[in-house]
Amino acid sequence: MCGIFGYVGEKRDAAEAVREGLKRLDYRGYDSWGVCVAKEGEIFLQKQVGIIGTDRPNLPETTIGIGHTRWATHGKVNEVNAHPHYATDRSFVLAQNGIAENADAIKIQLEKNGYTFVSETDTEVIVRLIEKKLKKAKSLEEAVRLAFKDLTGRNTIIILTADGSVIAARNGSPLVLGMDKKGGEIYFSSDVFSFAPHVEKVLVLENGEMAVCRDGAVQVSIIATNKKIKPIFEINKLRDVSTSKEPYAHYMMKEILEAPMVIRQVVAEEDKKILELARAIKKARAVYCIGSGTAGAAAAQTAYYLRLYASVRAEALVGAEATEYKNLIGKGDLLIAPSQSGETADVLEVLEHAKARKASIASFVNMPGSMMTRLSDYKFMANAGPEICVMSTKIFVSQIAWGYLVAKAVQGKLAEGKKNLRALARAVETYLADEKALGDIKKLAAVLAKKEHLFLLGKGQNLQIMKEAMVKIIEGSYIHAHAIPAGDLKHYAITLMQDGVAVMTAVSEDSVKADVLNAVHQVKARGAEVFGIGSESSSHFSSHLRVPDTGETSAIMNIIPFQLLAYAMATSLGHNVDKPRNIAKSVTVK
Ligand code: GLU
């Protein structure tokens, strides 16, 4: 996770430019932050625990600086562990996004060599390792290259030197460069959105590449071989993309309301491209849909749609739990990966392995220039605009709408799929404009926010939807929620059903409706209160939130009230809706 940012320019005050960039990256981590600037051969540093604010850092005015917003992996959240970290002689500072997996072993060795450490981070181990390499290396770049060869894990770093240059090296976590029209202003960042309004051109650094900005010129080279490569900057298409949440109080609300737009973006995808993927799915030896967290639920929903509509034996994998599949995945297999960032470390690890074993990859990513897109044979973009709230809402809608459409294409009914999604977009729009519906959700949220435990029953097309609803409730309200397959209830969780227990369920007008209602009966008979969501009410519901029946896309419709409910619960509890405690959006570490 973590966000890294750098600015080398002529016009802007570096401390403020870096602060502004980090503010836009704080969805990646907000434990603590640090900004450094270089002036007259000296590096000035400010670090602080907490999320970066709107005040200019208290640093000298100059035009070169770097910064970091942290999601701690190694060492407590405190000022000492916050990045950037100084070299012993203060000739450079370094910030890292990732984990140096062999840091402990390297540290023992470095300590034997007399190096000392002030922080508990793996980052400082990288700093000292570079210092050690510097003793024999001809330049700092060479020392960085040598140090990188010794490191394991995914590590992307940025360095600011006292004499005014910036060095960035990528291995794993993302790194992009931006440049204004004349090339006088250079930006480094973990994502394009953070500097998009300021630059004309962008360059996505590939894994294993290093960029050095010295005296206003950018040089790119391959870390392993030191071979220079011509930096090719592309036109920045995101320049005018808004990153404001106005007029809403939170990004989460703004992004939930963008659901109709993201569904329409899915519909706008070229038929030719979808049909090409549909052919690959039909031909594949095995199809695996893979994701983590919310994208994991989207991957599972995609697998469900492929089984249901296209009779494809598609299997869902959770990014971090796919180890045993590594021996199975190989030539002829196809992996389908929906991802907001396209940088999720545990998913990337499986995809890289699959690629090396000649499997094909299809991805559906929102962030431009990601690793996942680069690895893919079939590249799809969500084009949903930035999703800034850490809790994913519109992107989940977009991912499952895409999964549905792909399944319809394999079924040979792409046009019908697009028609159904268009109708869904209209239905979601009408629903989101319905003041009464929104008021009912708020009332229910006030009741549920007082509970200690919530149970969610799901089946068929709504199983993953209830899982995702569980994720949203846990993330936003910190209340324990538990999604249960409705049919499995009587095998274990029924023991927990008693007076006052709150159960939620989404019911669609489909072939498993009767089974879900059976489960509802069973919990109600034991005293539980059931809150139902669907187009029809049931006499067994204590309360019912009505949503329109959208047929095959009903499950996609059903997640919307749960997202609104999670929002209303989190706000009623006074939580930081856009940045729930402990989690970050782009999980670029394992
Ligand atoms: N390992 C570093 C730390 O704990 C960076 C963490 C990250 O990139 O999330 O400070």
How do residues 421-435 score in pLDDT, each as one tens digit?
999 999 999 999 999
Give the integer Cα–Cα distance in Å for 349 and 344. 9
CB atoms within 10 A of CB 182: 9
pLDDT at 148 over 90: yes
Order the strands of the 314-318 sheet from edge to edge: 314-318, 287-291, 334-339, 360-365, 378-381
Using the 3D structure, point to which of 427, 449, 484 is the last residue of a domain.
427
Any atom of ligand 1 within 6 Å of the Cβ of 151: no
CA of 432 to the centre of ligand 1 (A): 39
Between strands 155-161 and 166-170, the pairing is antiparallel
CATH assignment at residue 169:
3.60.20.10
Residues 454 and 501: beta-carbon distance below 8 Å: no
Question: Atom of ligand 1 at shortest distance to CA of 74?
Answer: 4
pLDDT at 241 over 90: no
How do residues 170-192 score in pLDDT, each as one tens digit?
998 889 999 998 888 999 999 99
Burial track 45-59 (b if 16+ CB lie within 10 A, e otherwise): bbbeeebbeeeebeb
**Which residues are 365's β-sheet partners?**
339, 381
Q: How confident is the model at residue 583 (pLDDT cuts 50, 70, 90)?
A: confident
How do residues 359-414 score in pLDDT, each as one tens digit?
999 999 999 888 899 999 999 999 999 999 999 999 999 999 999 999 999 999 99
Query: Residue 329 is which amino acid?
Result: I
Question: Atom of ligand 1 at shortest distance to CA of 584?
Answer: 9
Cα-to-chain-centroid distance, residue 395: 10
Burial track 508-517 (b if 16+ CB lie within 10 A, e otherwise): bebebbeebb
Residue of 4, 99, 158 to mutate, ligand 1, most atoms within 8 A of C-beta: 99
Give the integer Cα–Cα distance in Å for 146 and 140. 10
Do 29 and 164 sit in the same domain of this protein? yes
pLDDT at 94 over 80: yes
Query: Residue 351 is which amino acid?
Result: L
pLDDT at 147 over 80: yes
pLDDT at 160 over 70: yes
How do residues 329-339 score in pLDDT, each as one tens digit?
999 999 999 99
CA of 125 to the centre of ligand 1 (A): 12
pLDDT at 589 over 70: no
pLDDT at 238 over 90: no
How do residues 270-287 score in pLDDT, each as one tens digit?
999 999 999 999 999 999
Whether residue 240 lies inside any domain: the answer is no
Any atom of ligand 1 within 6 Å of the Cβ of 586: no
Do 365 and 397 sit in the same domain of this protein? yes
Across the range 69-89, mean pLDDT stands at: 96
Q: What is the structure's pLDDT at 369?
A: 82
Any atom of ligand 1 within 6 Å of the Cβ of 568: no
> 585 catalytic, yes or no?
yes
Do 442 and 415 sit in the same domain of this protein? no
Q: What is the structure's pLDDT at 504?
A: 97
CA of 74 to the centre of ligand 1 (A): 6
Cα-to-chain-centroid distance, residue 97: 14
Residue of 4, 25, 47, 70 to mutate, ligand 1, most atoms within 8 A of C-beta: 70
Do 205 and 258 sit in the same domain of this protein? no
* 71, 76, 77, 80: CA torsion to nearest 10: -110
The residue segments making up the domain with residue 521 are: 434-590
Do 452 and 492 sit in the same domain of this protein? yes
Do 455 and 385 sit in the same domain of this protein? no
Give the integer Cα–Cα distance in Å for 188 and 213. 10
Do 186 and 311 sit in the same domain of this protein? no
Q: Can you tell me which residue has the tokens 């802007």? A: 12
Percentage of the residues of the chain whose pLDDT score is greater than 90: 89
Q: Which of 418, 459, 472, 585 is catalytic?
A: 585
DSSP state of 187: E
What is the 3-class SS of 352-364, one letter each residue?
Answer: HHHHHCCCEEEEE
Between strands 92-98 and 85-86, the pairing is antiparallel
Any atom of ligand 1 within 6 Å of the Cβ of 97: yes
Measured at the alpha carbon of residue 197, what is the angle toward residues 366 and 243, in degrees to the nearest 5? 50
Do 498 and 518 sit in the same domain of this protein? yes
Q: What is the structure's pLDDT at 298?
A: 98
Do 367 and 440 sit in the same domain of this protein? no
Give the integer Cα–Cα distance in Å for 405 and 461. 14
pLDDT at 1 over 80: no
Using the 3D structure, point to which of 381, 406, 427 is the last residue of a domain.
427
Any atom of ligand 1 within 6 Å of the Cβ of 4: no
Q: What is the structure's pLDDT at 498?
A: 95
CB atoms within 10 A of CB 449: 21
Domain count across the chain: 3
3-state class of 287 per DSSP? strand
End-to-end Cα, the chain, rounded Å: 9
Across the range 550-571, mean pLDDT stands at: 98
Q: Report the interhelical angle of 554-572 vs 394-411 (nearest 10°).
A: 170
Whether residue 253 lies inside any domain: the answer is yes
Give the integer Cα–Cα distance in Å for 396 and 559. 9
Tokens matching residue 436? 């009464």
Burial bucket for residue 429 (CB in 10 Å: 0-12, 13-18, 19+): middle
CB atoms within 10 A of CB 107: 18
How do residues 500-520 score in pLDDT, each as one tens digit?
999 999 999 999 999 999 999
CATH assignment at residue 310:
3.40.50.10490
Q: What is the structure's pLDDT at 154?
A: 87
Any atom of ligand 1 within 6 Å of the Cβ of 393: no
Closest Cα to residue 153, out of 123, 112, 115, 120? 123
Any atom of ligand 1 within 6 Å of the Cβ of 103: no
Which one is predicted more confidently, 556 or 153? 556
Using the 3D structure, point to which of 184, 207, 235 is the last residue of a domain.
235
Do 270 and 175 sit in the same domain of this protein? no
Q: How confident is the model at residue 479 (pLDDT cuts 50, 70, 90)?
A: very high
Supply the DSSP string of 295-340, one letter for each residue: HHHHHHHHHHHHHHHH---EEEEEGGG-GGGTTT--TT-EEEEEES
> 182 catalytic, yes or no?
no
Any atom of ligand 1 within 6 Å of the Cβ of 190: no
Tokens matching residue 396? 């989940």
Q: What is the structure's pLDDT at 227?
A: 95
Average pLDDT, the chain: 95
* Close Cβ partners of 117 (under 8 Å, ≥ 6 residues apart): 107, 111, 124, 125, 128
Any atom of ligand 1 within 6 Å of the Cβ of 72: yes
How do residues 103-137 score in pLDDT, each as one tens digit?
999 999 999 999 999 999 999 999 999 999 999 99
Do 196 and 294 sit in the same domain of this protein? no
Do 371 and 481 sit in the same domain of this protein? no
Burial bucket for residue 4 (CB in 10 Å: 0-12, 13-18, 19+): buried
Question: Atom of ligand 1 at shortest distance to CA of 100?
Answer: 1
Between strands 453-458 and 502-507, the pairing is parallel
How do residues 444-475 score in pLDDT, each as one tens digit?
999 999 999 999 999 999 999 999 999 999 99
CA of 97 to the centre of ligand 1 (A): 6
How do residues 249-258 score in pLDDT, each as one tens digit?
999 999 999 9
Residues 451 and 479: beta-carbon distance below 8 Å: yes
Q: Which of 2, 36, 213, 389 is catalytic?
A: 2
Whether residue 36 lies inside any domain: the answer is yes
